Structures are given as structure tokens and as C-alpha cells.
A and B are shown apart, each in its own frame.
Chain A
């Protein structure tokens, strides 16, 4: 396997995936990551990005264009604390995706931010491969992770180091009320990544977990059988 690129990489689709292979999207260093919405009006993307932002109390620059605010609504501040997010959000609301990209580039050069999040709806002309390449390089030079939330886009070219697609799954059972929706579950598909193989997981977010690393957990998708298989593979590896 060529370790540094996912192009031409042999992807094993069998059940032989190791448990250690689960990616940790929040701690992979300062790179550009794309998060695509699996369907329309899906806030799973926002939830996933917020869950990955981590523990830092430095401000987060949150840039959005007019279309994404109109389609998916605005980020609602009072919910962030309940979601386990501790920082402050510096909101930049512009109308054109061109300004979103410019503001993100400016933000990426600023070491005082803990992250830069940009929201762009659809696949506008300005969000070309070159634009994403610039963002990716900026993120790696300045050491500020950049998250690009793209809704209404089905995977145009991008130079992002990790590309995720998030969609909502039926939620977990509510502990007290079987009629009510419980804690959220998402289907997280990593469909392109540098230096690792892609895959699909089920993501669960628990903001009350004591260990910050345990707040966002990714499980293999196919249920208990897969887990058993994984356990055996781990045991094989260890033995």
C-alpha cells in the first residue's frame, strides 16, 4: 500500500478491518477537512464538526454564506453549551461564497483561533479545487484546523485531507420515554483521506462523557457481529 495517498490504494471491503483503524477526526492535526451533508436539512454535519472541535476555549471563527443560512438555518448559540462546546463563536455572516473563502483564509493565518469553520451551500464556481488547495496549505502552515461544511453538494473535487459525509440515523432509545427521540446517531462516511483507508462508521456523541476523547465515538457500522469479528482480529494481532 502507498501510505501517503488514497489514489490507487487497494481498499479492503472484507470484514478484516481492525478496531485500531477507527479515525479520530478531532485530533488529526491542523488540516483542511470537508464535511458533506448526506441529505438536505441535515444538522448532523454541524453536530459532527462541533463534536470534533474539542476542548479549547479559544474562539472559533464560524463563517457562513447566505444560502446555507437560508437552507439550513443559523447556528444557534444557546445549544452549543449543552452540546459540550466550551469556546466562543465569532460569527461572520456574508452573502457570497467568495467572501466565505476569503474570511476563512484570513482566519487560518491567525494562531489565536482554535479552529475555522466555513459553511457553503451548493457547489459554486469559486469553490474550485484550487480554492480548497489554498485552504489546505494555509491550514497546514498556520496550524489552525479548518472545517468546510458543504451542504447540497455531492462531492465536487476538493483538496481536503479528509472528506467526510454525514447523515442522520434514527436516534438511540430514550432512557425514560420510548416515544421520544434519544441521543443522536450519525452515519459518518470517510470517503477520501490521505494516509488511511476510507470507511463508514456509526458516530455517537455523548457530551457528558468524562474523558474528552470518549465524547465522539465511531463504531463499525454492521453491528455486533462486526465487533466480534474485529475483536478476533485484534486478538490475532496481539497473539
Chain B
């Protein structure tokens, strides 16, 4: 909800505070409420209800689409950001973060001060957070969602604080919670008083992470429940700090590239995407990205790629820090060159692709790809050489010209109406007299791709007086009902 407010506020005026705002996601029977604002909460609307039902009760409901993926990405980012307080943080479900602050609270002046700090920092980000601190993960999860805001639970008072919470707080299935409620066990306190044997017998078939007894034991600290926090990815970074601002980055690149490549060599990795950043004295920064066709950690190759990119970089009044970072790395085992000193051909070509792409752009350097099509201009496609691979061309039974004009150029042709071969034609203001011709080869339009009304083509291979051979076609036949007189085009040149 906070994320939606923050993003929407940039684009348009938010609705008034008194208007109930809800975010809706698609449910099994139409849209259901995903999250809701303060005004909606005050009116007693709850998440999970169907939007149409709520609209019937509150006609002034303001419904917006929810974005669960965006929220997930934001939460993952925030979970990493929360490592400012403690080293182990992990996302908890769709709407929470669990932090293991063992041994970290005294750094912020005690537990209460730490919670206050967290609340303030989340508020600075525009996010509202419900915080709770407890000796076990399960207890903290329950207290944050169902307890009073900012609860700090000491080791002795876990059972006491959890007792008034509803059994839903245990994060059990709705079936289980309905069963417990039907049995009269509405609070966790009631559940704690039931003999363990009875609970174990009743719920022995339920998986561990949804079993009320196991969850209760974990919350009370009777079972271990360690946090499994994902490690931070290592950054491959080389930096050069300069005593004085300079304008030319070139003399420092050697050291940076050598440093980065040594780091990568130790980890047996090669770089696929590099970024060079200069930090200018006026507080600005500029960066250049370089991609490679295959993983590489040769300092000389990296240097050559970077040199081609430095032309447009604006140093301003000079810069005093520059970093070279490998943004994407791939495993690259040690490689043995040929014993007699030659280089391996495939790696050479990959290095060439990198250099060409770095300077000219990825769409200029292409491998051909082949498309199943009858129309000559559709047969050959192209794929950027950095990402694609060459494919064997199709074997054609027909004669095709070595060079193809794109698009075909219109020519004026003298021919025997309606379907005679071309006798003379005029192309690029020169008249040609055909001496020999072959054809026609009829290529019908591809009705599954072309627009209706596309005319067929009759291709002729013609030879003119001095021996040049052209590929020309007539588009349509007189009286085919798809336009007037047919037009002629020159499409290719034979060797």
C-alpha cells in the first residue's frame, strides 16, 4: 500500500484521506482485496474479501490494481537494505522481514532504541512497519502481526505475551484453524493448555511447517528454528583513488584491469559485463558499460574494449576516483594455449566480436538466421552476433541472386501484355535490352502472413546485352482484381 501511494503520488493526485482505497488482485472468483489503506481499515474492510461485495457495502470504494511482483522485488531489496542493523536478514512470506539481531542491539543503544531507529528509518523510506522483538522467530512473527506495535518480549514472558493472540497467528492452514476454533481453542493460550499428546495425535499427519504443535514449540523456544539468510553476492571491483583530480582515465586503466583480472583469476571466473565509473570532483559520476561475447579475464582484452568506449566520457573538471566493476561473471576454467604458441581460433573470433560490438553496436554485427518462407526477402534474418550463433543455411533448389536489393526498386518494363517476358526495361535511368530470359518462377503471397490483397510475383532471370544478369519480377497479373496494371520491380543481381 505504501509502495502504491509513493509511486502514484509521482504521477497523479492521490485520493482524499477519507476515501477508502484498496488494491485488488485477481482471485478465483473475480478480484479480491490485496491491501487496503487506513480509511478502508477504519471502515472494517479486511484483506481477502471480494471487491464486488465490498463495493456493494461501500459504494465510494476506490479500487486500484495491485502489483504483487513489484512488491516482492521491493521486499527483497528492503530485506538486503535491513542488513544495516544485523548481518542475518531474510524475507518472510509476502509481507515481512525477519532479522536475527542477536548481539547487534547494543550497537544501537539497546533493544528499545533499535526498534525506534528501525521505525524511523522505514518511515523515512515512506514505508510503515509493524515491529516486534522476541527471543524466537515464531514469537516475533506473531507479535509483529497480531500483537501491540513495538512489543519487546523478554525471554521469560513469551508464553504470557503469546497467550491472548488468536490461533491464526501461528500461520497454520485455514482448515486447521477452523478445526481449532470449532474445538473452542480460539487463542494460543488455550492451545498451550491442551495436553501435548492429544494435539500430537490429532495433527500427526500435517507437515512440519504447518503443524500447530511444532509451530508452537518453535515459538516458545522448545524447538530450534534457525534463520537461513542468503549470503550477499560478492562484488568484483577494482578501484583507484587518485591524490589529485585528473582528466584522462587512460593511464589508470592498466592497473585497474590487471587488479580486476587477478581477482577473477583467483576465483576462476571470467567477466561478461563490465562497468567503468569515474567519480568527478563536482559530485557527478559517469559510467561506461562493456559486454563481452564469452567470459574473459585477459587484462589486455579488457583494456582494448575499454579504450574504444572512452571517447564520449565527460571528465568535467577532473575526477579523483575510478572503479572498474564486473557486473556479470561466469565460470571460466584455466585455459591452456597451444603448446607451439598458436592461438585458438574460436576464442579469437569471440574477442573480435567483443571489439566490434563495443565500438559499432550490437545490431550492426550479425549472424544470419534462416526463416522458412517462400518470399526471398524473408528467408534471411539476422541475430546480433554477441547473443546468437551461426546456423547452416537451407539448401535451395532454385537459382537465387548473390545480391538482393532491399527494398526492390520499381522499373519500367516493356513486355507482351498480359504475361509475356520482359523485352526491355529501364532501371535507375538506364535502358536495358534483355537478350535472354528464364522464367517465370511464380511466388504466391503467404496468406498466413501477408495482408489480404497482396499480389503474386512472377520472377524472371534476365540477361542484358553486356552480360549482367538481373532478377526482376512482375507484381500481379492484369485483371487479378487486386489493383490496376501490374508493376515491375528489380529485386536482385546475379553474379
Contacts and interface: CB of A to CB of B under 8 A. Distances in A.
Interface string A13-44: 00000000000000000000000000101111
A113 B351 CA distance: 12
A90 B366 CA distance: 6
Contact of A75 (B352, B403, B466): B403
A181 B434 CA distance: 11
A81 B349 contact: no
Interface stretch (B61-69, B82-90, B259-267, B379-387): B379-387
A107 B468 CA distance: 32
A179 B492 contact: no
Interface in A61-91: 61, 72-83, 88-91
Q: Is the interface of B mostly helix, strand, loop or mixed?
A: mixed
B356 A92 contact: yes
A169 B344 CA distance: 42
Interface string B373-398: 00010011010010000100111100
Interface residues of B, number: 56
B25 to A, nearest CB: 47
B365 A91 contact: yes
A132 B447 CA distance: 50
Nearest to A185: B467
B311 to A, nearest CB: 13
B367 A46 contact: no
Q: Is the interface of A mostly helix, strand, loop or mixed?
A: mixed
Q: Tell which of A42, A81, A90 has the most Cβ of chain B within 10 Å.
A: A90
A167 B349 CA distance: 33
Interface string B350-381: 01110110011000111110100000100110
Contacts of A90: 349, 353, 365-367, 385, 390
B217 interface: no
Interface string A112-134: 11000000000000000000000
B438 A112 contact: no
Interface string A183-194: 011100000000
B348 interface: yes
Given A74-B403, A112-B346, A113-B352, A93 B469 contact: no
Contacts of B390: 59, 88, 90
A113 B385 CA distance: 14
A106 B495 contact: no
A205 B402 CA distance: 14
Contacts of A231: none
Given A43-B401, A88-B367, A205 B467 contact: no
Q: Tell which of A79, A94, A110 has the most Cβ of chain B within 10 Å.
A: A79
12 contacts: A46-B403, A74-B405, A77-B368, A88-B367, A91-B367, A103-B360, A106-B356, A110-B349, A112-B345, A112-B348, A184-B469, A205-B495
Interface of B: 342-349, 351-353, 355-356, 359-360, 364-368, 370, 376, 379-380, 382, 385, 390, 393-396, 399-406, 428, 435-438, 461-463, 466-470, 492-495
